[in-house]
């Protein structure tokens, strides 16, 4: 199990935060610096990586670069587009070993 805690660093000129990852198996916390550029300026949500922030910002901008060529529905994220395309293809790669029911997503199989 991993616990997350946030601590403001006072001796830096720019705002930075440190994540302390406390693992049950280790006594020493690991540190990872998060720079202010990884904070969403719109909703103030914080991310550990710039790529995660970039992914998140599409929600606010309304950008939907992934388009279904069959029904023309548009998606903000490629993962949503991939899931949608399985609906059109009928692909259900996740199969229950007990009853043989098939699912489009692994998470749906786990719930089943």
Integer Cα distance of 73 and 79 in angstroms: 14
Q: Write down how long the chain is.
A: 112
Ordered by start, the domain boundaries in the chain are 2-61, 66-111
Report the CATH number of the 66-111 domain: 3.30.160.60
pLDDT in tens for each of the 112 residues of the chain? 334 444 444 444 444 444 444 444 455 445 555 555 789 999 999 999 999 999 899 989 999 999 999 999 999 999 999 999 999 999 999 999 999 999 998 999 999 9
Q: For position 110, what pLDDT does the model report? A: 96
φ and ψ of 15, to 5 deg: -70, 120
Contact 3, 25 (CB under 8 A): no
| pTM summary value | 0.52
- Closest CA relative to residue 64, chosen from 88, 81, 48: 81
Q: Is 54 exposed, middle or buried (0-12, 13-18, 19+ CB in 10 A)?
A: exposed
């Amino acid at each position: 199990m991993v616990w997350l805690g946030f601590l403001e660093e006072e001796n830096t000129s720019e705002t930075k935060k440190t994540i302390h990852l406390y693992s049950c198996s280790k006594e020493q916390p690991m540190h990872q610096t998060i720079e202010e550029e990884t904070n969403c300026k719109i909703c103030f949500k914080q991310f550990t990586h710039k790529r995660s922030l970039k992914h998140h910002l599409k929600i606010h901008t309304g950008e939907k670069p992934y388009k279904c060529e069959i029904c023309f529905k548009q998606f903000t994220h490629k993962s949503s587009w991939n899931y949608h395309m399985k609906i059109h293809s009928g692909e259900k790669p996740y199969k229950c070993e007990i009853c043989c029911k098939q699912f489009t997503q692994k998470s749906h199989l786990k719930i089943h």
